[in-house]
Chain A
Amino acid sequence: MRIEGHAVCLPPDIDTDLVIAGRYLRTKDQSIWATRVFEDLDPTLAGRLRGSVIIAGKNFGCGSSREQAAVALKEAGVVCIIAPSFARIFFRNAINRGLPLAQADLSCRDGEKVVVDFSAGTVTAGDISREIPPLSPRMLEILAAGGLVEHWRKRG
């Protein structure tokens, strides 16, 4: 699996309240989450996420278990998130929603081209490359299916 996108840089410890605020949770309209994503961090960010690879600091997705955070990012067009570490519930949620995550400590320049190659186990931003630990076979299967629901239905 190989993913390309433009870098969007974010600081460490991005909590899921910041990804999608509690006041927007009571709906099933996923387009609302896509437009409100990161509103309290930077209201202009949602418009720049289509085709992006987020390169964040450590502990991305900490806090609440709200799966709307992963859905919001995917719906807004984020194709992958790279961070030195992820909060574990967010990690599972993102994979379950078909949003790939890569663990690496990578310096970030906004807009730079980023390539994530899960088969080769590398991420490259500009001319800097880092190795990434492999995702478990199960997680790769879920991602390949497009998410846990699709994975489950395929398995029957």
Chain B
Amino acid sequence: MTTLSERILGAPAGEYVDRPVDRAYVHDGTGVLTLEAWLALESGEIACPDRTYVLFDHIIPANTSTTADLQHELRKFACGAGLHFSDIGDGICHQLMGEGTALPGDIIVGADSHTCTLGAFGAFATGVGATDMAVIWASGSTWFRVPETIGVFLSGRLSGHSEAKDLALTYVSRLGMDGATYRALEFIGDGTTHLSMDSRMTLCNLAVETGAKTGLCYADAVTLEYLRSFGEIVSTQAPPSCTYEQELDFELEDIIPVIAVPPRVDTILPASELCGLSLDQVFVGTCTNGRYEDLSRFASIVRGKKVRVRTIVAPASRTVLEDAAGTGILSDILAAGCTVIPPGCGPCLGAHMGVVGEGEVCLSTANRNFRNRMGVGGEIYLSSVSTAAASALAGEIALPGGDE
């Protein structure tokens, strides 16, 4: 009668435990402070270099000399210490870890809040800060408070143009920005088993926007098949047999396209109520919605048409980009007039590659619409990929399938 988090961490909710971690990763943003803290520890060598990853994704390629210097230092260190290193253009850290590295039952820590994305694989995956990560580099382990769990029951199938992103924004809205603070979310029910791994990663990605420590899906046949494509043979996880602290239910047939309006992720409106809102930029990508399934969905809507507003597309990884090139959907996206930028975080955090200006409105498939996040004075609306595609074509917020 244990939750998946209790099973993986091996203790009941509420207990504090010290656990070795299976994977630990930083990116070029948090890696700088991690390295600084680690050097201050003066602890000798990295405890588990084979489990430690440095993955450049936040400001790639470097935008200023300062960024370049910081990246140079971190790159040199990572390679010298024998850590797993991926350089600019390989992709977003969470996506790379989700391409055959994160496995069911793993304990994974990342120095980024959206590490919860990897809960999609039935792993306990959570974000930590730089100093915590430095001690993990030094010791190979860290402490956790085993979280209480909220069960999110999904039944049926998504219909029409509704996507996992619409479902994710809907559950964030239901729970609120702190509705799951210190807790874990478990996504269960037949509705979960119908979702692809790309969709599950989207679903788990938003967990932290409710304050949750992580979001988890039980590894099933879909997980196995996905991981087999990366050469990983794993077992399914026994389905849940626990009682939850709190339960939420969603009929997936009832999920409609929604948009989170600035400046809160938990404030949503049906996309239909915002139709006609003029846009200055559309951004498709990020650890939320930059996977192959997303790009494929986007391409299927813009194919043979032209976007009417500047549209930036950032594949989540080199593999996604290569797949998109291989199947031709990349050509569709380019022919529609979109600007494709290197695999990485793009303008999501307002550093470069599409920062918005004062008074500009951006429709984004990312996960945060906080004030000024993508640029001072800019407003961010969050939607699914299909809504973003239809809106890019219209130059204003529009419903997917509106012209069918």
Contact = CB atoms under 8 A, between A and B. Distances in A.
Interface of A: 13, 15, 17-18, 21-23, 25-28, 40, 58-59, 62-68, 70-71, 85-89, 92-93, 96-97, 136, 138, 147-149, 152-153
A92 B370 contact: no
30 contacts: A13-B177, A17-B368, A18-B371, A26-B32, A26-B64, A26-B66, A27-B70, A28-B32, A28-B36, A28-B70, A40-B372, A40-B376, A58-B178, A62-B178, A62-B211, A63-B113, A63-B370, A64-B112, A66-B129, A67-B30, A67-B131, A68-B33, A85-B211, A87-B181, A88-B213, A92-B129, A92-B132, A148-B37, A148-B134, A148-B135
Contacts of A85: 178, 181, 211
A17 B373 contact: yes
A58 B376 CA distance: 25
Given A62-B177, A152-B135, 5 more contacts: A17-B372, A18-B370, A23-B351, A65-B111, A152-B138
A58 B371 CA distance: 18
A149 B128 contact: no
A65 B373 contact: no
A92 B128 contact: yes
A27 B373 CA distance: 18
A149 B134 contact: yes
Contact of A66 (B30, B42, B264): B30
Nearest to B40: A149
Contacts of B66: 26-27
Interface of B: 16, 29-30, 32-33, 36-37, 40-43, 59, 64, 66-67, 70, 111-113, 127-132, 134-135, 138, 143, 177-178, 181-182, 211, 213, 264, 349-351, 368, 370-373, 376
B211 A59 contact: yes
Contact of B129 (A25, A70, A136): A70
> Across chains A and B, which 9 residue pairs bring their CB atoms closest together, nearest first?
A59-B178, A93-B129, A67-B129, A96-B131, A22-B349, A67-B130, A65-B113, A17-B370, A65-B127
Q: With a 10 A CB-CB cut-off, give which of A18, A65, A71 has the most chain B CB atoms.
A: A65
Contacts of A68: 33
A7 to B, nearest CB: 22
Nearest to A69: B129
Contacts of B42: 153
A92 B132 CA distance: 8
Contact of A88 (B59, B211, B264): B211
A6 to B, nearest CB: 26
A22 B16 contact: no
Contacts of B376: 21, 23, 40
Contacts of A58: 178
Contacts of A23: 350-351, 376
A26 B351 contact: yes
Nearest to A138: B143
A152 B43 contact: yes
A96 B132 contact: yes
Contact of A59 (B32, B128, B177): B177
A41 to B, nearest CB: 8
